[in-house]
A and B are shown apart, each in its own frame.
Chain A
Amino acid sequence: MSVHNSHFYVPRADGSVSQPDPNGLLAAGPILQIEIHVPKKIAQVLASQGKPVPAPQTGIALIDTGATMTCVHEPILKLLTLNPIGAVTSGTANGPVQQSLYPASLHFTALGFGIELDQVAGVDLAGQTVPLNPPQNVVALIGRNVLSRCIFIYNGPGGFWTLAM
């Protein structure tokens, strides 16, 4: 099992770490670096047709325990030349909307682990940034279809979270 611990600390003036920083975790949330790849099956088809397989797209993912399904910024899925294989209707403040579902492969670089997902929802995450230095764009929300395979611990007062997969 791969285990990833993410701790937030208040830095000392000399640059060394001191005490846990719950506010750092509060501000950034449980985020991790991911790569979004073309699923193996589609990569094989592209290769067999002599077509290039698009390079993985990297970015920050935010763990979202409220989302049933993992969501990915749709322009990234398009960059990977992926096509929808399903749709789901969701409720919004402006009424029901239909979201396209795509196959995708997510690689969690910190965990050294990848998952082929049957479906991720294509959404617009434009403008969603994490207050890091420099700020980074959120490209995916990790939903419960991934968390169903993991142990996830969020320790607010301790300023850390753990994901084991």
Chain B
Amino acid sequence: MANDLDKELKFFDAHKKEWLTHYKDQFALVKGEGFFGTFTTFEEAFNAGVDRFGNQPFLVKKIVENEPKMQFPALAVGLISVRS
């Protein structure tokens, strides 16, 4: 499925190993193929993203080895779905 943040997610994945050594547990701010720093909290990263890019898509993602699993039973059994 196409996602507005495909480019950012690929960029994040490509650099995750490197960032884990320097910025583990920080929140990365990524726009396009640009890295705009790390922040201690999600809120700080989000506010920095809005200040810099305005109301545009950008990626805020925690730099962790194993990402927490999200459970959506309603999604899993098809009661709700994701639009493509």
Chain A residues close to B by CB (< 8 Å): 41-42, 45-46, 49, 64, 66-69, 71, 74, 81-88, 90-94, 97-100, 103, 118-119, 121-125, 128, 141
Contact = CB atoms under 8 A, between A and B. Distances in A.
B55 A128 contact: no
* Residues of A contacting B: mostly: mixed
A87 B3 CA distance: 8
Contact of A90 (B42, B55, B61, B75): B75
Contact of B1 (A45, A66, A97, A123): A97
A47 to B, nearest CB: 11
10 contacts: A68-B69, A68-B72, A69-B70, A82-B55, A84-B57, A90-B75, A90-B82, A92-B76, A124-B80, A125-B80
Nearest to A93: B78
Contacts of A41: 46-47, 50
B50 A45 contact: yes
Interface in B1-16: 1, 3-5, 9
A119 B68 CA distance: 14
B72 A85 contact: no
B11 to A, nearest CB: 13
Q: How many interface residues does chain B have, given as a range? A: 35 or more
Interface string B51-84: 1001111111100000011111111111111110
A64 B74 CA distance: 9
B43 interface: yes
Interface string B11-38: 0000000000000000000000000000
A119 B77 CA distance: 22
B2 to A, nearest CB: 9
Contact of A42 (B9, B55, B60, B71): B55
Contact of A100 (B4, B54, B61): B4
A116 B46 CA distance: 12
Contacts of B61: 86
B1 A90 contact: no
